[in-house]
Amino acid sequence: MGFTPDRHRMYFTDSKARRIDLLDYDAHTGGLSNRQVWLQTPEGAGEPDGMTVDSHGNVWSARWNGSALYRYTPDGHEDHCVEFPARKVSSVTFGGDDLQDLYVTTALADGSRTEEGAGAGALFRLQAEIPGVPEFFSRIGL
């Protein structure tokens, strides 16, 4: 999950449904409402998995079984894709002193590197042109 820069809305990855939903978020109560599909990923292109939001409100989405990290503008248009030598790209987060390091994890699950890719199970660091924001600790209860 990730939050819009104004923290009035929250993105939620539903991997099984291959989509990212957008919900209204009440920072005072932690309440969520008005769930709607924000992005539906194409069949056969993997499932969205871990994600984060940068300081411009772009959504970065790791693609499990899709070998890539995608960046989407706030209106849901894909504007950047980074491919990885691993099928299971699992998560992404910003780090570093200026939050311009983008850390991307991959998984080696139920297979071998021959099947999953030479980078399966690795951690990658990229330099992002748009910085991230510190992670937000919400009041959402489970």
User: Known catalytic residues?
Assistant: 49
- Determine how many CB atoms are found less than 10 A away from the CB of residue 45: 14
Report helix, strand or coil for 71: strand
Instruction: Please list, residue by residue across 105-133, b when 16 or more beta carbons sit within 10 angstroms of its beta carbon and e when fewer do.
Output: bbbbeeeeeeebbebbbbebeeebebebb
